[in-house]
Structure 1
Amino acid sequence: MVPAYMEYNTISSSIKSLLQDSKTALLSPREVREALNKRFTINQVNVISANDLGITKDGGVLKVTTDYEVREPMFYNVSIVMTFQDEFSKDVRQ
């Protein structure tokens, strides 16, 4: 279970660092997706891609949402399912 949480932490920190960048306010949702794809590639994120994220820019607020699950087999027909859902937002009107 630890690798799944570590990968989620990498995803979360990649999104947060992008949203903290002052240039993010000028980017379209497509450009945000491309920037996140590059960060995911550099950080070797394999569980999801930037195409799996919800990225919207509405009313001056940029939102990035994650919603995915990881299944890890334990033994025989028993698996652990971990669900990761989160929403990150930045007011780009500033």
Structure 2
Amino acid sequence: MKRQQRGMTLIGFIMVLGVAGVFAYMGMKLIPMYSEYYTVKQSLEGIAKEPGITTQDTARIKDLFFRRLYVSYAENVKPEHVKITRKDAGFVVNVDYEVRKPLIANIDVVGRFQAEQELRRERDSGSY
């Protein structure tokens, strides 16, 4: 009576380990890109909550935005990626940028990110 062996062979284990390693390596490249995008979104939401932001000029709004990014070490967003346009009684801030990270040899990982935030005046909270 022969018993059949069960389990994974060494070669199978090495192949599974290799695949897991590739995904872990890709994650190490992708996670910082998405973390920076989250920082951009948080910075836009933060300047939208600034009191009197709609009375500021576009240069001041850009400065406030980049100060928030500087604190968070976001380095891929440049001033040419930020467009501020007037809309009604406020502004619309649009951040459109691309991040390219080398992966293996001549293969790159490219992330394109776009975020938009409307800056509006706060409504009076008086009684009706």
TM-score grouping bracket, smaller chain normalisation? 0.7 to 0.9
Quote the Cα distance in structure 2 between the aligned partners of 1:77 and 1:32: 39
Identity, in percent, stands at 22
Q: CA deviation at 1:6?
A: 0.3
Q: Which deviates more, 58-67 or 43-52?
A: 43-52
Across the aligned residues of Structure 1 and Structure 2, the Cα RMSD in angstroms comes to 1.6
Map of 1:29 onto structure 2: 58
Alignment of structure 1 residues 9-48 onto 2, 5 Å: 9-48=38-77
Unaligned runs of 5+ residues in structure 2 are: 1-29, 124-128
Other structure's SS at 2:103 match: strand
Map of 1:86 onto structure 2: 115
**Contact kept? 1:19, 1:89, Cα under 8 Å:** yes
Q: Which deviates more, 41-50 or 76-85?
A: 41-50
Structure with the bigger percentage of strand: 1
Quote the Cα distance in structure 2 between the aligned partners of 1:79 and 1:92: 42
**Contact kept? 1:63, 1:89, Cα under 8 Å:** yes
Write out the 4+ residue segments of structure 1 that deviate beyond 4 Å after TM superposition.
Answer: none
- The number of equivalent residue pairs is 94
Alignment of structure 1 residues 31-70 onto 2, 5 Å: 31-70=60-99
Q: CA deviation at 1:27?
A: 0.9
Unaligned runs of 5+ residues in structure 1 are: none
Query: Which protein is bigger by CA-based radius of gyration?
Result: 2
